[in-house]
Structure 1
Amino acid sequence: MPLSVRSSALTFLAFAMPVSMFGVMWPDVRDRFGQSLGALGTVSLVYGIARMSTSGLGRAATQRFGIGRCFIAALAGLVVADLVVSTASSWPMFLVGVAAIGVVSGLLDSVGAGVIATLGDVGSAGIIHGSYGVGATIGPLVVAAVPDWRLSLVVAAIVAVAALVLSVVARDAWPAPPIDAVSRDAGRPPTRATVVSLTMFFAFIALEVTFGNWLFTYLTEARSIGDTVAAIGVSGFWGGTMIGRLSLVSGRVRALADRLGMPALAVTGVIGTLLTTVAPGATVVLTTTMVGLSLSAIVPTLSARTADRVGAEHAQQVSGWQLLSANLGAIGVPFLTGKIIDASDARATIVVVVIVFVLGFPALVAARPKPESTTSDEVSRPQLR
């Protein structure tokens, strides 16, 4: 495995951990700072806005400073931000730390998206995005295992230090984008393909983040499931995402995902979501894992095949827009979910997830490759015009 992929993978793992912890540690945090149940939506909003503020800067930052320096600086910031949240003595200080995590995560995600678009390999994309799933799986388990939520952020900071060390080792190992990908004379990206891409990223990132962030609250408040099982259920969701994405390194798995099609996988994920509303006791872990597994291939496949949809000369630019769109979904939908929950109850989580799926599904169908374009390993996707 190339050093650049290994470093990107550990980086994604590191910035996934703190945000995946927020939903599980929320009962203790809200008691400590005297907040309402739905105020978790405010945490998501602060994190999301901060992350979006830097999610479009990757292309410009790497052209000026280089990929290695950007990763090193942002990871150093992540270490500090994790420690700020872990030592927060007031609600405003907690939100400042959350915002700091969002700022550095947005830059890391943006730089990583450029790397993925340049590599153009679904297997590498699966490893990198799958490692985000590893971090998101570990995060809730760390919160459940340690005696205090503050210590969980210290653990996240230690992991970020490890990613920082590897990024220093890999500082000169990063791939350069092709010349036509940075050309200023490439013209405008194809409109239809761009709209399809932005819609898919908005909807399916919003779906993942909303389900992942509010799942613990839904299970404990709406289903009256115990904290331990609920935490494992959250880890099951992110664990399913992790396993599915890491398995994309296998050509057979990629071929299977292509044969099934992204729309079919998305439908299976929604079925798993609905089963989560009725699964008894600990079996809810199976249904949440099913959701993660079903959705796992969608985002890395969409990311790696950006150039197939819009052309190599537009891939870097559109990958930045896709991140902005994804962050809009990750900000707005969980925040609105919190407001709806405060006005009703935690059952609204499932309703919101299904609505977002219905809105995003047509774009996913529109991006399907033609049957004759499928090979045994990779799919060469025609550009949408």
Structure 2
Amino acid sequence: MITTVLLIIIYLAFISLGLPDSLLGVTWPIMQNQWGLPLDAVGLVALFITGSTIISSFLSGHIIKKFGTGKVTFISCAMTGGALLGFSFAPSYLWLLLFAIPLGFGGGAVDTGLNNYVALHFKAHHMNWLHCFWGVGATLGPLIMAQILINTSSWRLGYGTIAFIQLILAFILLITLPLWKKHESLSDSITNDGHFNGNTLENSFENSEINDKLSRKSILKIKGVKYALFTFLFYCAVELSMGLWGSSFLIQIKNISVEKAAFWVAMYYGGITLGRFISGFISFKLNNTQMIRYGVKITLIGAILLLFPLPNFISAFSFVLIGLGLSPIFPAMVHETPVRFGKNHSQLIIGYEMGFAATGNALFPPLLGVIVKHSSMRIFPFYLIGCILIMFLCSERLIKLTQETISSK
């Protein structure tokens, strides 16, 4: 019973993480016009958000050790809710930059902690469904915003509404904190088969002294870690760039209205959400490596479709296809981390993986903004294809190295 309720709480936490992730790309065309800003100014806001997430991710192991997963999850949700509320009242662009900092910090530590917890103690389908609930939040965000824009044309009301939902979730997490304490007081914890044995979440931190002795250089010397980090880097380059610039691509190149573009961006995140729900069942038949490979191929097909002057509904549907392709990659990569590199190192390495994922979020979408500013939004599909191919090459190299390591043991 405790395990079931705990899973529900973790799923709710990932809904809260997903809610704000897709809002900026949807609202930016309107915000840009109201404030008379250049198109690529959104890149700096994204940089502040993801830069804060990077710092939070790398510090996550120490934060969780000190405060516990339950408190970190609650604080994260409360911080993002407060930051979104700040967005809704922001009088100028500079205030967006200010509130971007707690928005980023709110997501980093809890993302790492919950990912590691589920990777260690639950099967692959739970990891897929965990990230499916992130997709629920990421899909609901632009859908709610699009509906409010249609009815009121107020992006401020949209941010305020999302903030209110976020704070309700934070309140739920607050009143369930005793459940986390009760769970942590047990001498057993959840294993991969969903039952209890002697490995508590806190016991995983008994190895933190070993982890603390690992420097950045020694972590990077572990066979395959570099390729894992770069796979996350380029995965997030694709995922966030789609969310941030996809709407502008549809508006500028395909002449789709702002409201319809917002809808298709929501459907892109819907593709990720639905894909992860389905992947949870597929993972009973396919292993993580197979899931990653199929996901990359589907993503590549979706990106290639954007190159051609196809009818708008096909181009828009390719957003859904890209979302479906991306859906199993991130969860499968995270879930495979303890297998590839060992449970003792997984918390630290997953922290680095989340840090590199956030780095991909921070660097590549703004870089695309600069490229677009000096060329055209038509570069967007070529950019996506390039990032997908690099991700694929890094993933394949990682699979080969880690399989060699496992087979030699």
Query: TM-score normalized by structure 1?
Result: 0.90
Deviation, 1:180, is 5.7
Asked if 2 retains the 8 angstrom alpha-carbon contact of 1:241 and 1:292, the reply is: yes
Establish whether residue 210 from structure 1 lines up as the match of residue 222 from structure 2: no
1:324 to 341, 344, 355: 355
Deviation, 1:42, is 1.7
Asked if 2 retains the 8 angstrom alpha-carbon contact of 1:307 and 1:314, the reply is: yes
Change (3 A) 1:329 1:114: same
Change (3 A) 1:58 1:170: farther
Change (3 A) 1:384 1:267: farther
Establish whether residue 159 from structure 1 lines up as the match of residue 165 from structure 2: yes
Question: Once the two structures are aligned, what percentage of the paired residues are identical?
Answer: 23
Establish whether residue 263 from structure 1 lines up as the match of residue 296 from structure 2: no
The residue type paired with residue 7 of structure 2 is V
3-state SS, counterpart of residue 210 of structure 2: coil
The residue that corresponds to 2:302 in the other structure is 272
Q: Distance in 1 between matches of 2:374 and 2:75?
A: 41
Deviation, 1:369, is 7.6
The residue that corresponds to 2:393 in the other structure is 362
The residue type paired with residue 126 of structure 2 is S
Change (3 A) 1:59 1:361: same
The residue type paired with residue 275 of structure 1 is L
* CA deviations over 1:77-131 (Å, ceiling 9, x no partner): 1221110000000111122122221121123322222322332421221122111
Change (3 A) 1:218 1:257: farther
Deviation, 1:230, is 1.5
Deviation, 1:383, is 7.9
The residue that corresponds to 1:49 in the other structure is 51
3-state SS, counterpart of residue 19 of structure 1: coil
Structure 2 alignment gaps of length 5 or more: 190-199
Deviation, 1:257, is 6.4
Deviation, 1:306, is 0.7
Deviation, 1:277, is 3.6
After superposition, residues 1-385 of structure 1 pair within 5 angstroms as 2-146=4-148, 147=152, 148-171=154-177, 172=180, 173=183, 176-177=200-201, 179=203, 182-183=206-207, 184-185=209-210, 191-250=222-281, 252-256=282-286, 260-278=290-308, 279-368=310-399, 382=406
Change (3 A) 1:43 1:180: closer
Q: Distance in 2 between matches of 1:312 and 1:170?
A: 28
Q: Distance in 1 between matches of 2:106 and 2:46?
A: 15
Change (3 A) 1:367 1:7: same
Change (3 A) 1:116 1:259: closer
Asked if 2 retains the 8 angstrom alpha-carbon contact of 1:62 and 1:111, the reply is: yes
Asked if 2 retains the 8 angstrom alpha-carbon contact of 1:193 and 1:383, the reply is: no
* CA deviations over 1:7-60 (Å, ceiling 9, x no partner): 222222223222301011111111222211122222211211122121122211
The residue type paired with residue 16 of structure 1 is G
Asked if 2 retains the 8 angstrom alpha-carbon contact of 1:181 and 1:315, the reply is: no
3-state SS, counterpart of residue 223 of structure 2: helix
The residue type paired with residue 305 of structure 2 is L
Asked if 2 retains the 8 angstrom alpha-carbon contact of 1:4 and 1:170, the reply is: no
Cα RMSD (Å): 2.4
Q: Distance in 1 between matches of 2:345 and 2:120?
A: 11
Higher deviation after alignment, 165-174 or 75-84? 165-174
Query: TM-score normalized by structure 2?
Result: 0.85
Higher deviation after alignment, 27-36 or 329-338? 27-36
Asked if 2 retains the 8 angstrom alpha-carbon contact of 1:239 and 1:289, the reply is: yes
The residue type paired with residue 111 of structure 1 is G
Change (3 A) 1:37 1:118: same
Structure 1 alignment gaps of length 5 or more: 374-380
3-state SS, counterpart of residue 345 of structure 2: helix
Change (3 A) 1:357 1:182: farther
Q: Distance in 2 between matches of 1:384 and 1:5?
A: 36
3-state SS, counterpart of residue 305 of structure 1: helix
Change (3 A) 1:22 1:118: same
The residue type paired with residue 142 of structure 2 is P
Q: Distance in 1 between matches of 2:97 and 2:142?
A: 19
Deviation, 1:283, is 3.0
Change (3 A) 1:21 1:185: closer
Asked if 2 retains the 8 angstrom alpha-carbon contact of 1:202 and 1:325, the reply is: yes
Higher deviation after alignment, 254-263 or 318-327? 254-263
Deviation, 1:268, is 1.7
The residue type paired with residue 88 of structure 1 is A
Deviation, 1:167, is 1.7
Change (3 A) 1:224 1:207: same
